[in-house]
Amino acid sequence: MKYWQYLVRRLAGILVSLIGLSIIIFTTSRVLPGNPARMALGALASEEQVQELAAEMGLNKPIPLQYLDYMQGLLVGDLGTSLETKQAVSTDIVNYLPATLELITVSMFLTVVIGIPLGVIAAQNKDGLTDNATRLLAFFSVSVPGFFIAIMFQLIFGYLLEWLPITGRLSAEHAAGVSKFTGFLLVDTILSGNLAAHLDAWAHIILPALALSLAGIGQVMRITRSSMIDVKDQDYVEAERGFGLPSWLVTYKYTLKNAFIPTLTILGLLYASLLGNAFLIELVFTWPGLASYGVTAVLNNDFNAVVGVTMTIGIAFVSINFLVDILLGRVDPRIRLAMEEAT
């Protein structure tokens, strides 16, 4: 089977997965305790008003019919109306998603620039003091919950040392001088020509991004170290050393390039999973992103928002995995050939 046929089959599998996800999350949101219409109108609303809103929302219909109505709207981009914000869920997602994407992108950047070099250093000093120290750091970063690290960062860098802000995305004195172009403050502050606001945005994002990235740093460090150890003793690497090439060139051009395949795979999965892992970090740092919006929706039984956020994260997850498959096939032709043979 040709490679493009394999990709078509993967796309079909993704579609089936998303349909399954939509059925599960939609049904779950409808059977949760509580009356969404009552919660939307408040305790003082009459029973007639509650029933009227429930009928308007289609809550009186059987769940399969409600699901079909929802899917018809989903196909045209209609995710329903949020009971909490009284806005279209799609509008809320567009408003909140850039903050989360900015946070996880900076977190991913920290994961790459810290995790990969430390993994390479650990592999170059296998079983030495540096290797043991990085392995201990990796174990700590993977074992300790992210929200606990976030709270410790707030106490140390925000409260005790007073180096960095611990809540929000931007200080109030800078907010008025920034125009909204993309929703990404690190970009919008530059486009607005406001250097002070840009630096302030970095000051606000560094702690939550670092707290969110620590678990990923540990995983990337371990995977890179293991792959580098497997590759560095291969015959072609020894041949490059025999030709008298500098050690740094052999390490970063020949060894790391061929050891990077497992790391690339885990990086793709990490970026997708950060959308879900950002929930607690956003709550701790009062970060106004999609994750905190989703938590508020769950607490208030805002089922349209719950389904919308879950589907957004699900689509992002399977899309990134699909892109990783394509990249792996381009980076290493052996993987592409294996995919073709497997199908």
pLDDT in tens, 64-106: 888 888 888 888 878 888 878 888 888 999 999 999 999 999 9
Phi, psi at residue 15, to the nearest 5°?
A: -60, -45
Q: What pLDDT is attached to residue 156?
A: 92
Q: What pLDDT is attached to residue 41?
A: 67
Residues 223 and 146 sit within 8 Å (Cβ to Cβ)? no
Q: What pLDDT is attached to residue 331?
A: 65
Structure tokens that stand for 128 in this block:
């030495």
Q: What pLDDT is attached to residue 99?
A: 92
Q: What pLDDT is attached to residue 40?
A: 66
CA nearest to 290, candidates 81, 15, 155, 98: 98
**DSSP-based three-state secondary structure for 184:** coil
Q: What's the predicted TM-score (pTM) here?
A: 0.83
Structural domains in the chain, CATH included, are: 37-78 (no CATH), 92-341 (1.10.3720.10)
Beta-carbon count within 10 A of 261 CB: 16
Beta-carbon count within 10 A of 50 CB: 19
Q: Summarize pLDDT for 178-212 with one digit per residue, the tens.
A: 888 888 999 999 998 889 999 999 999 999 999 99
Chain length of the chain: 343
Structure tokens that stand for 292 in this block:
């905190």
Q: Which residues of the chain have pLDDT under 70?
A: 1-4, 32-35, 37-45, 235-238, 240-241, 243, 248, 252, 254, 329-343
Q: What pLDDT is attached to residue 273?
A: 80
Q: How far apart are CA 184 and CA 197, in angstroms?
A: 12
Q: What pLDDT is attached to residue 320?
A: 82
Quote the radius of gyration of the chain (alpha carbons, Å). 24
The whole-angstrom distance between residue 292's C-alpha and the CA centroid of its chain comes to 13
Burial class (CB in 10 A: 0-12, 13-18, 19+), 330: exposed
